[in-house]
Amino acid sequence: MTRDELATICRNYLESFSTGDADLVASFVADGFVNEHTAALGSGCEGKDEYRRRLPNFMASMPGLRYEIEQQVVDLTTSTVANAYTLHAHVNDRDCAVRGLLRIQIDPSTGLIINRTDYWDSKVFLTQAGLE
């Protein structure tokens, strides 16, 4: 896959969250998908079915969820894209904007995401959402 193809898959995946359609979001990931979170509030999982099961609650907890991509860096040797982003959502009648980095690895033979590792600051989120 080319740099542009890998970057486009990630961009389309992240844009799919703003639709609120869990099936659409899950359509970008492989059966053996691994979802990792480094933040204390994050909750990872393994497998497309488990990921799909969790998506509706996640999206419902983050009204207006959208990812604004600030920069993408593509590593062709590992088919990995580092996506610097700002997550926007409206939580507890407050607008939240949390910056992070999402490292996404894609299986070049299928074009599906096999690993997602999300790095973000959960304290920033708690403060902005008025939960702290």
38 pLDDT more than 80: yes
28 pLDDT more than 90: yes
For the chain, give every domain's residue range: 3-128
- With b for 16 or more beta-carbon neighbours within 10 A and e for fewer, the 74-88 pattern comes to beeeebbbbbebebb
Per-residue pLDDT tens digits for 54-71:
999 999 999 999 999 999
What is the dotted CATH code of the domain comprising 3-128?
A: 3.10.450.50
121: pLDDT confidence band, cut at 50, 70 and 90? confident
**pLDDT of 41:** 77
Higher per-residue confidence, 123 vs 28: 28
3-state secondary structure of 62: coil
With pLDDT > 90 as the criterion, what percentage of the chain qualifies?
A: 86
Higher per-residue confidence, 1 vs 132: 1
Global confidence as pTM = 0.94
Question: How do strand 66-75 and strand 45-46 relate by DSSP bridges?
Answer: unpaired
Residue 5 φ then ψ, to 5°:
-65, -45
Structure tokens at 76: 């062709």
